[in-house]
Amino acid sequence: MQETKPYDKISIKLETLPTKPGVYQFLDKNNSIIYVGKAKNLKSRVKSYFTHKNSHSDKTRVMVKHICDIKLVVVNNETEALLLEANMIKNLKPRYNILMRDDKKYPYLKITKEPFPRIEKVRTVQKDNGIYFGPFPKGSIIVEIMQIVRHLFKYRSCHLPLNVEDIKKGKYKACLDVQINLCDAPCIGNQSQKDYNDIFEKIQQILNGNFQQIINSMTEEMFQAVKELRFEDAHVLKEKIKVLENYKNKTAVVSNKIHNVEVYSYIEDEEKIYFNAMKVVNGCIISSYSAEVIGKAGESCEDIFRLAIIQTRNKFHFNSDKIVVPQKLDLPKEYVRQIIPKSSPVYSGEYVKLLELSYHNAMFEKSDRIKRATLVDPDRWNMKVVEQMQKDLHLPLLPKHIECFDNSNIQGNFPVASCVVFRNCKPSTAEYRHFNIKSVDGPDDFASMKEIIYRRYSRLQREEKPLPDLIVVDGGKGQLHAAVESLTNLGLMNKISIIGIAKRLEEIFYPDDPYPLCLDKRSTTLKVIQHIRDEAHRFGISFHRNKRSKATIRTQLTDIKGIGNNTAQKLLLKFASVQRIKTATLAELEECVGKSKAAIIFRHFNQQT
């Protein structure tokens, strides 16, 4: 019997696919699941991978080549498909599905499942029937919460496996917590199990963000204590209410009208996103989580974002029926209700603030990862940036060696130029060069650019030194055209890539292309080019100022007959400026440069006035 080829096998399955919602699995030749996806209509979704292939991304086309079989799980509705997809991705970890990387174990608070519970800080959620709260972005937040709870309530921190029968038998002894008044000693029968568990019900309410309910309860207890003339107890309750109010005011970031929502945002970065999730209860953020989420099969950023939300809700057991998101997502109404504050006049103000706060957390996650990547392996990170620049700028070679040029003058006076050199996105300061403009009269930036480009690369040719992979010209079409003229005259036009960057709109210009390239303002490529351009400008301006300053000294001090450079430097060190030298007394000048030269200088400036 002839063996069926993979694509024959798939084509047969494609014809028999159901039109119902469900989850599909792609398998490779080893029968391993390489991708899991969900669909409202399995037939149209799965067939789309094998039709219109040219519209797919490179990663998707690579994945399709490895598909040798398809398996389906049909479900009743889209919500079931959504949740089943998330669980399968979590458990099977297919190679082409999205990857969530948080690089750290977020801290949680856990209330243990015991007759007399304890509260402790943990880094992992286990299936032990304990009650977990979190994740929290920082361990310091947990420390602060535990200090607040410890201040409000007395409970045990010992690890004794307490049970009621052993307490009745007098098996335990009071520990240090009892001696320092942090625990009411349930271990020796001084506190009933019911009274002890009532305390932990209140602790749970605080950890869930229900501050007002506890405050109201404590306020009633305080007034009751006053009625019964228990003033010391009333004072203790008053102090506890004050602590809770202070903590509530510090953690509440929006109106108390927002009772239970989850907030999600992200920042795009090529085929991955930096993602943040926050859980908000009664206007307080009780949980926050950030991660880098990588798409592996050409998913759009919206698809990656949607899957990240589902996986996060499953992972941390978030169960709010409302989520705040920056845009409408492909999520069924039965699963969750979406609030898009910026597109609705109904949801504004507090919701917008929450979304912006989440966005800032996502931005911090991105910058934090970049900093850590540059510290851990700077060469690898820089190479990634160079590769991205080649892709964004459509360059034939990796721009490992970049040179950037800038002109500087004041109405044509003291014309100078600068050249800065970057290798693998890092400044090579030893190779920086200054230029005095020689052949240009007046303020002509185009002619100045033409001169320095010609001088720079004619010299590199003579000395047989390596040429750069990319030249960046600070300026628009005019400066770029002038630089191209010089490269053409030197026969280098097809050997070096060259671009211009215009300051006003940060547009990238290419030779012989009337339309500029506008990069995303947040793109790494544009930021690197801006950094190189700004460095060239800084280097050129400092040279221009030094030249202008020296010229000013020469014309006002060294032009005095009998006064040389050494005397001029002494005077400037003493008086700091020419203006102060002009107004100095003869005695002050004599103290600095002696009687004869002081007399010459004093006479020169006083005769001028």
Structure confidence by residue, pLDDT tens digits, 361-389: 888 888 888 777 777 677 777 888 898 89
* 452 in any annotated domain: yes
Helix (H) or strand (E) holding 190: none
484 and 537 inside one domain: yes
Q: Is residue 394 located within the same domain as residue 534?
A: yes
36 part of a folded domain: yes
pLDDT of residue 254: 55
Which whole number is the average pLDDT over 184-202?
A: 86
Same domain? For 124 and 181 the reply is yes
- Name the domain boundary from 371, 403, 433: 371
What CATH number should be reported for the domain holding residue 12? 3.40.1440.10
pLDDT of res. 1: 43
CATH number at residue 291: 3.30.420
Which CATH number is 470's domain given?
3.30.420.340
- My answer on whether 483 and 515 are in the same domain is yes
Helices (H) and strands (E) in the chain, counts: 20, 19
Domain identity same for 392 and 536: yes
Domain boundary among 45, 78, 97: 97
> Does the residue 255 lie in any domain?
no
Residue 254 resides in a domain: no
Question: Please, which pLDDT band fits residue 7 given cuts at 50, 70 and 90?
Answer: low
Domain shared by 160 and 51, yes or no: no
Asked, for residue 553, whether it belongs to a domain, the answer is no
One domain for residues 46 and 83: yes
Q: What is the CATH number for 574?
A: 1.10.150.20
For 88-119, give the secondary structure using H, E and C: HHHHHCCCCCCEEECCCCCCEEEECCCCCCCE
Are residue 196 and residue 118 in the same domain, yes or no? Answer: yes
pLDDT score recorded for residue 503: 77
Angle between helices 231-251 and 139-152 (to 10 degrees): 160
Selected residue with higher pLDDT from 275 and 367: 275
Q: Is the pLDDT of residue 605 over 60?
A: yes
Segment 288-316 mean pLDDT:
84
Contact in structure between 266 and 238 (CB atoms under 8 Å): no
Instruction: Residue 339: give the domain boundaries.
Output: 260-371
Mean pLDDT value across residues 457-468:
92
Domain match, 391 and 539 both:
yes
For residue 10, is it within any domain? yes
* 63 plus 150 within the same structural domain: no
The answer to whether residues 534 and 573 belong to one domain is no
8 A C-beta contact, residue 473 and residue 500: yes
- Of 272, 306, 265, 267, the residue nearest 288 (C-alpha): 265
**Running DSSP on this structure, what letter comes out for residue 341?**
G
The percentage of the chain sitting over the pLDDT mark of 90, rounded to a whole number, equals: 16
pLDDT top residue among 441 and 489 = 489
Cα 175 to Cα 21, 84, 342: the distances in Å are 59, 49, 56
Query: Of the candidates 267, 263, 259, which has an alpha carbon nearest to the alpha carbon of residue 287?
Result: 263
Q: What is the number of structural domains in the chain?
A: 5
Average pLDDT along the chain = 82
Residue positions counted in the chain: 609
Which of 522, 546, 570 is where one domain is finished? 546
Is 90 a member of any domain?
Answer: yes
Q: How far apart are CA 1 and CA 162, in angstroms?
A: 70
| 244 occurs within a structural domain | no
Percentage of the residues of the chain whose pLDDT score is greater than 70: 89
* Same-domain check for residues 149 and 178: yes
Q: Per mean pLDDT, which of 17-31, 552-566, 575-589 is the most reliable?
A: 17-31
What tens digit of pLDDT does each residue of 143-158 get?
A: 878 887 887 888 888 8
The answer to which of 186-200, 261-275, 371-385 has the lowest mean pLDDT is 371-385
Residue 412 pLDDT:
45
